[in-house]
Structure 1
Amino acid sequence: MLASARSFAAEQPSGIPAWLQTHVGEDEGQIARPVLQRARALYFQKIKEGAVRNPCYFAMDATRPNSLNDGKPGRRFYVVCEADKSFRAISSGHGGGRNLKGIADFANGRRCAKNFSNAMDSNLTAGGPYVTGETKTSFKGSYRVSAKQYAALTRSFLQFDGEGETANARRREIGGHAAVTLKGVCLRKDLRSPYANPDGYVPFGTLVEYAGGRSNGCTSWSTSDVGPILAMTKDDPTTLYIYPGAADIDAVKNAVGSNRSLSRTGLYWNASCLREIGAPKFWPRETLEPILDQYERVHPAPPPRPMPICKDS
């Protein structure tokens, strides 16, 4: 498998193949040329190095809208399998960021991302090269599916490993998972549950799917898209390039500030989101982490409180 993958990589022309060219563009469901070029370069580099052998690779364009005008999630995460000439565009969330009242505001709106960072606890997306790692599955709690029936929510997390500015991805716990969680969680007595604690209680809440919503910096997919991605990467890592990187963000910010055309300067940002955010901003880890540390010193987290017992479940 590895030898054939390497042979396939060696045979690739420098240009984008004709079948893939039909998917290149900035319309819904298409991938912008700079994003695809970065993703292809990373993938074939890792193939030649022997770091991956997966016939497919991923890309994400975090400059595109997270939700469309009709409210549906925008498709900006891409699964490209050049060996069998397949291309798929799906939705994916971006980091919501934080608003540190009186200190710094680097929160992102639901539709378009303005702020990016590789800082710990920033809850922001960091663009750049990644390779998928192991998958961990954890129990989140139970939820009601009918009047007398409950189901367990287990969520799988696909770890990402980065390079350069994204090298702290594992320390930041950055990866991909289903855009689903439990809200209003309390403890419900369920002695039959294999997840019950020693006292027979299980976390219980309301199931919420937030495809098209924001995340803590991770890549979040709809529940229908997660399965194929996890199956594709199980014991078979591949590459993911998330656009934009820090240099892209700074270049676009400078061009906007000097009223220069992005297309004339060879830069790319989704036009709709750029009109909405004005100009993007990258918060370097070296700058933002001291600000976050200062905020935590001034606003220490309250002591953890025990999870309440459900009143009526």
Structure 2
Amino acid sequence: MLSYIGKRLLTLLPTVLVPVIVVFVIIRLAPGDPAAQILGDQATPEQVADLRRQLGLDASLLAQFGAFLKRLVTLDLGESLFLHAPVRDLIPGYAAVTLEIGLLSLVLSIGLGMAVGMLAAFRRGHWDGRIGSGIGIVGISVPQFWIGLLLVVLLAVQLPLFPVSGYRPWSEGVGPHLQSIFLPALTLALAQLGIVSRLVSSSISDVLNEPFVTTARSLGVRPRRIRVRHVMRVVSVEILTVVGLLLATVLSGSVVVENIFGIPGMGRLLFDAVGRRDYDVIQGVVLFVGLFIIVVNLVVDLLYAVVDPRVRYGKGAP
């Protein structure tokens, strides 16, 4: 098991290193100068050049990357040029908000997606089954920002059940807190519902044609028992395969959703950092997201052994 984990970490390492290197190069080649952003329009070229020297931005790209790697070894992610705080201290607070919304959206997307997928598969050919299939197609096709704006109009303006925007921490009460994060989580969930429902529908259709299901039917096993004990047990493995993908998609989608709803999460932090050319913050967020995806995928791989006993890891694995 330990050897398997070590090998997986080595194979997943490029998931972090490649995006970090690409982002490091792109943001420095993109138009815009952090020094000019800090000093404003009234600054002279001499003042801008002096600040660039102080920040180390006048060094070559290779020298800047070497300094970044040197700091990274000691877990020093640098300091935000505009928030004036170490990036290592900034990320946990913003990440906690994003992960909370992401986990809630994951629960909603899997729950709703499984319900819609089961409806489309078990009621195939009926009017309600066609509705389930249509919901799945719409979920895949409609962009997140449109879903978010539609939910704001329906559930925050027309029916004032939730706040239009803003984030309320736990300290202000459980009810206000959940109200402030529900619409962002629902927006992300509806955007992922199509993926889950189509996967569930396709998996169920495949399993229903398997010989063991035909045998169970011929032995007189009740259809409900076949669906719950046999079909959904196999489909649960397929659901597990998309958990890592869904979480990664949630993190990427948070940039749009958090800006729509004014949520102070990782997406909002990244969006503001890109606009300001806050290099260390951008690199820190990308590094955190990459590490998070690695951990999630590793946990999902290990859970295969729990869900499907046929999966083995370690020295005796095929």
TM-score range, shorter chain: under 0.3
Higher relative contact order (CA 8 A, sep 6+): 2
Q: Which has a greater percent of strand? A: 1
TM-score, length of structure 1 as denominator length: 0.22
Give the number of the structure whose alpha-carbon radius of gyration is greater.
Answer: 2
TM-score calculated relative to the size of structure 2: 0.22
